[in-house]
Amino acid sequence: MTHTLPLPDLTHERVEVTTGPRSGLVITVALHSSALGSALGGARLWTYPHWSDAVGDALRLSAAMTLKNAAAGLDAGGGKSVICLPPGTTLDAERRRAAFLDLGDAVERMGGLYRTAEDVGSTTDDMLTVSERTSHVVGLPDLVGGSGEPAGPTSLGVYESLRATLERVTGSADVHGRRITISGLGQVGSRLAVRLAAEGAQLTVTDVNPAKRHLAADLGAEWTEPGTEHLVTADVFVPAGIGGLLDAEVIDALAARAVCGPANNPLAHRSGAERLAARGILYAPDFVVNAGGVIYLDLEAKQLGTRAEIMDRVAGIGDALRALFDDASVQGITPLDAAEQRAAARLRAAAAIPVPA
């Protein structure tokens, strides 16, 4: 009997799947494209039903990073790494350290074509462990002179994107009094919730972790049970958890005027963009909205500007999204199509440049 791997089409330059010799965990490093430069994408530590599901996630996420970095105007390609935790696995400190040392070795074998950073399930301290085995890592802790946690820049980019989205569907970028639903209260979702609450938004929030209820109470936000949040009437629905939330059933029942959030790959299928448009729901492409962190990490690592200048660049995501909405309207296409066109143009231009002998 054979097992059919649930994998997307392979369009990648290089993929390595290995069992970490120290940790015994399956680690995938997926380099999708280095056409624009050394690829940049985080390291995800997550539980998957089967190791092949983790490989498939790495392939999808790395391809999305190519789009994200290209659309953001970065001279960086797309890549991603995933450490697969079997169901029921809990890492103690020793095995966690072993896993990230194993990841460092895998990144080093890419020869500088891929740089890693923190992502869902990993931290800046984990990246410090990775740095013991490779120099191709960014986002080390502030205490050791690194650029630190990128969730702040990511949340800033999402906030500015949310304002641009509100402006498009309501005529004003002001969040005060607007009904906003946030699905996922991780590092980015929680930061966004705190800011929106302070500015007077009417928040509904949820998270798969029931302990996050305390944040809802602290902010005066309504709590709804996971799986019901899309039914709450809202001006903007903010997917801020794991991807794939917006399947056909959820889209058809979605009670929001727009979707704008930091989750990677929130559409279960690409056709979801057209399905949303058919219902008159504006979709802000995820890889544009959530690019603040990677912009910050890439420019900080390359020392391209002061921190204040880099954060100004991150805040500019809102204007970039406005331009995408305009392009989509003029061409009669979805904002997702317009964003993909922007990324593809940069990639085509890079491919046309002769490689020095």
Per DSSP, the three-state class of 357 is coil
Cβ proximity of 87 and 47 under 8 Å: yes
212 is catalytic: no
Exactly one of 68, 80, 212, 302 is catalytic; name it: 80
Q: Decide: 213 and 223 in contact? Cβ < 8 Å.
A: yes
Q: Report the candidate in 115, 103, 102 with the shortest Cα–Cα distance to residue 41.
A: 115
Cα–Cα distance measured from residue 205 to residue 76, given in angstroms and rounded to the nearest whole number: 34
Element containing residue 85 per DSSP (H, E): strand 78-85
Cβ count within 10 A of residue 163: 21
Whether the CB-CB separation of 50 and 57 falls below 8 Å is answered with no
Tokens linked to 81: 């790494």
Distance CA 102, CA 18 (A): 9
Q: How many CA atoms lie within 13 A of 72 on its CB side?
A: 33
Short-list 300, 275, 346, 328, CA closest to 164: 328
Distance CA 124, CA 187 (A): 13
173 Cβ partners below 8 Å, 6+ apart?
A: 163, 164, 166, 167
Q: Which residues contact 260 (CB under 8 A, 6 or more apart)?
A: 158, 161, 162, 165, 236, 237, 238, 282, 283, 284, 289
Tell me how far CA of residue 234 lies from CA of 240, 255, 283, 285, 357, in angstroms. 15, 6, 14, 18, 56
Q: What is the DSSP string of 302-331?
A: TT-S-HHHHHHHHHTHHHHHHHHHHHHHHH
Burial degree of 123 (CB within 10 A; 0-12, 13-18, 19+): middle
Q: Would you name the residues annotated as active-site residues?
A: 80
